[in-house]
Amino acid sequence: MTQARPSPPPRGRRPPGPSGGRGAANAADFAVDPLGFLTRAARDHGDVVALTSGNVLLVHPDDVGRALVDRDRNLVKVRPGERRRGGTGFPLAMMNSEGEDWARKRRRLQPAFRSERLAGLRSHAHDAVARTVGSWAEGRTIDVHKEMSRLAMRIGAVHIAGRPLGGEADALADAVAAVMRLTSSPVRLPTWVPTPVNLSLRRAVRALDASLRRLIDGHRPDGGATALGRLVEERPRAPFPEIRDELATLLMSGYETTADALTWLVHCLGTAPEADGALAASARAAGADGYAAACAKEALRLYPPAWVISREAARPVEFGGYLLPAGTVIGLSQWVTQRDGRWFPEPDRFRPERWLDGAGPVHRYAYFPFGAGARGCLGASMALSEVEEVAIALRSQVRFEPVGPEDVRPRPALALQPVGVRARVFKEHPRGARWSR
Ligand code: HEM
């Protein structure tokens, strides 16, 4: 990628792109290998790339900031009247709302994600890790994603709903797996077409509905401390389907993304022994030097669970000198921008040191794993604290030895899932324990 931003071409001309930015070929290439396609598109065509006639990728952090923060009034996340349910979406949730409706729902949830609640989250994460580590036999090979998913499910449910999930956990995991299968499939038919993937999704969403109903009905009042508490207390003003949609999206978005981030972190540490050693030393001192937080940020840079997000132009908008017509879908890719050598020296290397002592990228919007602006991730502090605390708790108790790291690959579904991360676990002896009698 070029270092300097080229001077803007005259307004109105179409941005360049693969195959001239037109045609079904690009859509097919994207469907088969989205990460490779976006990376090549940026490398070969610059900072504003026409992917198809109605889709444009913005690569430069200036444009990321403009799209998510400055011009968010010209761009919408959810088109008016768009119903996202279609079997997968939950249309009444804040995440799928716009305008005043979105603002009201976001205000309602916000207090449950305040920083005062993070100390409780950390202590709960610690306990959850201790239980998990206790279940591992010395030297056993574990499926890291499976184990991290269980952890994330437990920690997330307590923070969001006030208690760990019982039987509901399977329904939630199944629904998430079905959504991931659907979104990673290169050929996506409308959800009413009875393909095996669509049918399994419909079944999973029905089962999830029943589980969520049990969770909502069984909620014990908590003074509105948790998100579920806040939603239930509003009843009957908030109708049941609204509570259900909100709870479903919170549990689902908090679960898969965080499990993916934790798994990627274990993978990255397996490829960087020095960083792993530094984390172990830091973990023995309860992470006071911020190294675990730096590891969490660096893993989210290299393997961002949200690897692409999009907006739609509600009216004509200008980016990089090009005037994009209303209706253009604008893509921003964390995968592409966060691996750009202009903003991150040695972009493909896992180097937590780049985040130490408050340091960060040279450009504010070169790093946006949680989005930015008014619609930035509601659970960002929760997720960061959780990943950091789990890293500290895990690494103070165990050492991971990667098994077949060369086979690991990302699967870009709705989240960037790690495939094939396995490790042998060895318990760490507390310092000096070996010598004590
Ligand atoms: C590592 C974990 C996570 C990542 C990488 C992540 C990423 C993101 C991103 C990129 C967005 C913005 C999407 C856009 O602008 O189109 C977002 C929005 C959101 N996230 Fe997260 N997220 C994570 C964890 C969580 C957790 C733990 C929760 C809650 C329990 C959560 C709840 C939400 C909600 C409700 C929104 C929608 C906000 C709105 O529309 O106003 N996320 N997330």
pLDDT, residue 207, reads 80
Asked whether the bond before 236 is cis by omega within 30 degrees of 0, the reply is yes
Listed in sequence order, the residues at least 6 apart from 359 whose beta carbon sits closer than 8 Å to its beta carbon are none
Give the span between the Cα atoms of 221 and 232, in whole angstroms. Answer: 8
Listed in sequence order, the residues at least 6 apart from 85 whose beta carbon sits closer than 8 Å to its beta carbon are 91
Q: How many independent structural domains does the chain possess?
A: 1
pLDDT, residue 2, reads 42
Distance (angstroms) between ligand 1 centre and the Cα of 250 equals 9
The answer to whether the CB of 385 is under 6 A from ligand 1 is: no
The answer to whether the CB of 251 is under 6 A from ligand 1 is: no
Residue 346 lies in a domain: yes
Residue 24 lies in a domain: yes
What average pLDDT does this structure show over 255-267? 96
pLDDT, residue 280, reads 96
Type of residue at 291: Y
Q: Is 1 helix (H, G, I), strand (E, B) or coil?
A: coil
CA 415 to chain centre: 6
The answer to whether the CB of 112 is under 6 A from ligand 1 is: no
pLDDT, residue 359, reads 80
pLDDT, residue 87, reads 44
Measured by CA distance, the residue closest to atom 7 of ligand 1 is: 370
Listed in sequence order, the residues at least 6 apart from 380 whose beta carbon sits closer than 8 Å to its beta carbon are 370
365-381 pLDDT tens trace: 999 999 999 999 999 99
What average pLDDT does this structure show over 241-249? 91
What average pLDDT does this structure show over 26-33? 81
What average pLDDT does this structure show over 60-74? 90
Residue 243 lies in a domain: yes
Using an 8 Å Cβ cutoff, are 113 and 379 in contact? Answer: yes
The answer to whether the CB of 253 is under 6 A from ligand 1 is: yes
What average pLDDT does this structure show over 278-296? 93
- Structural domain range at position 101: 18-435
What tokens appear for 76 in the block? 């919408």
Residue 58 lies in a domain: yes
Distance (angstroms) between ligand 1 centre and the Cα of 330 equals 18
Give the span between the Cα atoms of 272 and 270, in whole angstroms. Answer: 6
pLDDT, residue 432, reads 42
pLDDT, residue 348, reads 96
pLDDT value at 185 more than 80: no
Residue 9 lies in a domain: no
DSSP 8-state secondary structure symbol assigned to residue 404: S
Residue 127 lies in a domain: yes
Q: Which carries the bigger pLDDT value, residue 20 or residue 263?
A: 263
Ligand 1 probe mutation, 69, 263, 302, 377, most atoms within 8 A of CB: 377
Listed as own residue / partner, the contacts of 408-414 with beta carbons closer than 8 Å and 24 or more positions apart are 408/267, 410/35, 410/303, 410/307, 411/180, 411/184, 412/34, 412/35, 412/184, 412/307, 412/308, 412/335, 413/179, 413/180, 413/181, 413/182, 413/183, 413/184, 414/179, 414/180, 414/183, 414/184, 414/256
Give the span between the Cα atoms of 288 and 196, in whole angstroms. Answer: 49
Measured by CA distance, the residue closest to atom 3 of ligand 1 is: 257
Measured by CA distance, the residue closest to atom 11 of ligand 1 is: 377
pLDDT, residue 385, reads 96
Residue 85 lies in a domain: yes
Using an 8 Å Cβ cutoff, are 371 and 306 in contact? Answer: yes
102-120 pLDDT tens trace: 999 999 999 999 999 999 9
pLDDT, residue 435, reads 38
Give the span between the Cα atoms of 404 and 411, in whole angstroms. Answer: 17
Using an 8 Å Cβ cutoff, are 323 and 418 in contact? Answer: no
For 123, other C-beta atoms within 10 Å of its C-beta total 11
The answer to whether the CB of 371 is under 6 A from ligand 1 is: yes
pLDDT value at 31 more than 90: no
Question: What is the CATH number for 385?
Answer: 1.10.630.10
Residue 6 lies in a domain: no
Identify the band that residue 191 occupies on the pLDDT scale cut at 50, 70 and 90.
Answer: low
Question: Average model confidence (pLDDT) for the chain?
Answer: 87
Distance (angstroms) between ligand 1 centre and the Cα of 371 equals 8
Q: Which atom of ligand 1 is nearest to the CA of 368?
A: 10
pLDDT value at 90 more than 90: no
What average pLDDT does this structure show over 23-41? 85
